[in-house]
């Protein structure tokens, strides 16, 4: 996890979950925007990106800001644990963070989180989450997926679990289809995340 020494600003910590939506190409821009908007509000923000295996198809570690951002994958969860007494990464991240934002939240992880499944690093962080801490999700999917009735059911389930759902927007998606389902813009998501942190 990032080192917070050597900066006078108060430090806040974000777990940024990334899943297998093409909108994960915006994860580096989102991380930069959260850090910048935090600075504008007098906060130093450290970010732990928890990426699913599918998310890693859409961005590279080198694209993330070097300072204050660490990338964790499912491999880290298991490489850091060898025997009883070793730290368990998803528990450490849950303790470390002040807020969790999943951006993008794809349909698969939406279904898993809404139903309590936890089969990778990110979903384990969310399943172990301290319910006193804020949590946000930013869905991103094809318009037909978004309009499927199961989406409304699962979105309502997430809201009932205390997740703030940052609604997707309507535009031409990467697949060429037009309609609701694109992830909200990184600057908009960053503003909601930083507002949660500044309010604490
Ligand atoms: C190129 C490509 C783009 C995709 N974009 C999306 C998307 O925007 N939203 C979505 O829900 N699934 C999308 N998928 C499907 C997910 O990657 C797939 O459901 C995957 O199993 C999700 O795994 P995860 O939830 O563990 O990240 C896409 C798949 C591919 C191959």
* pLDDT per position as a tens digit, 31-44: 999 999 999 999 99
- Quote the tokens at residue 182: 């694109």
pLDDT of residue 75 exceeding 90 = yes
* Cα 151 to ligand 1 centroid, rounded to whole Å: 15
CB burial readout 58-70, b (16+ within 10 A) else e: bbeeeebeeebbb
- Residue 83 has a CB neighbour count (10 Å cut-off) of 5
pTM of the predicted model, to two decimals?
0.96
For the question of residue 175 being annotated catalytic, the response is yes
Ligand 1 near 21 CB (within 6 A): yes
Domains belonging to the chain, first-starting first, are: 11-199 (3.40.50.1950)
Ligand 1 near 52 CB (within 6 A): yes
pLDDT value, residue 86? 93
pLDDT value, residue 142? 95
The band of 145, judged by pLDDT with boundaries at 50, 70 and 90, is very high
Residue 80 makes CB contacts below 8 A (sequence gap 6+) with: 86, 87, 88, 89
pLDDT value, residue 199? 85
Q: What is the mean pLDDT of the chain?
A: 95
pLDDT of residue 4 exceeding 80 = no
pLDDT value, residue 113? 98
pLDDT digits (tens, 9 = 90+) for 93-130: 999 999 999 999 999 999 999 999 999 999 999 999 99
Q: What percent of the chain has pLDDT over 70?
A: 96
The whole-number average pLDDT for the span 75-92 is: 94
Dmax (CA) of the chain: 51
Ligand 1 near 145 CB (within 6 A): yes
pLDDT value, residue 1? 66
pLDDT value, residue 176? 86
pLDDT digits (tens, 9 = 90+) for 151-192: 999 999 999 999 999 999 999 888 888 899 999 999 999 999
The band of 2, judged by pLDDT with boundaries at 50, 70 and 90, is low
- The number of the ligand 1 atom at minimal distance from the alpha carbon of 183 is 8
- Quote the tokens at residue 10: 């108060």
The whole-number average pLDDT for the span 35-57 is: 98
């Amino acid at each position: 996890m990032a080192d917070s020494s050597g900066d006078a600003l108060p430090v806040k910590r974000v777990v940024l979950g990334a899943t297998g939506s093409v909108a994960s190409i915006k994860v580096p821009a989102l991380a930069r925007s959260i850090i910048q908007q935090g600075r504008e509000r007098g906060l130093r923000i450290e970010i732990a990106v928890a990426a699913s295996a599918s998310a890693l198809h859409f961005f590279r570690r080198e694209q993330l800001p070097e300072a204050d951002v660490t990338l964790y994958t499912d491999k880290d969860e298991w490489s850091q644990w060898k025997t009883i007494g070793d730290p368990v990464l998803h528990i450490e991240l849950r303790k470390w963070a002040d807020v969790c934002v999943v951006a993008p939240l794809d349909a698969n992880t939406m279904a898993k989180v809404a139903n309590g499944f936890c089969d990778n690093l990110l979903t384990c962080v969310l399943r172990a989450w301290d319910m006193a801490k804020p949590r946000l999700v930013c869905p991103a999917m094809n318009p037909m997926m978004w309009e499927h009735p199961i989406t409304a059911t699962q979105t309502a389930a997430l809201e009932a679990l205390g997740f703030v759902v940052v609604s997707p927007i309507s535009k031409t998606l990467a697949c060429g289809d037009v309609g609701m389902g694109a992830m909200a813009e990184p600057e908009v998501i960053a503003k909601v995340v930083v507002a949660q942190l500044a309010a604490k």
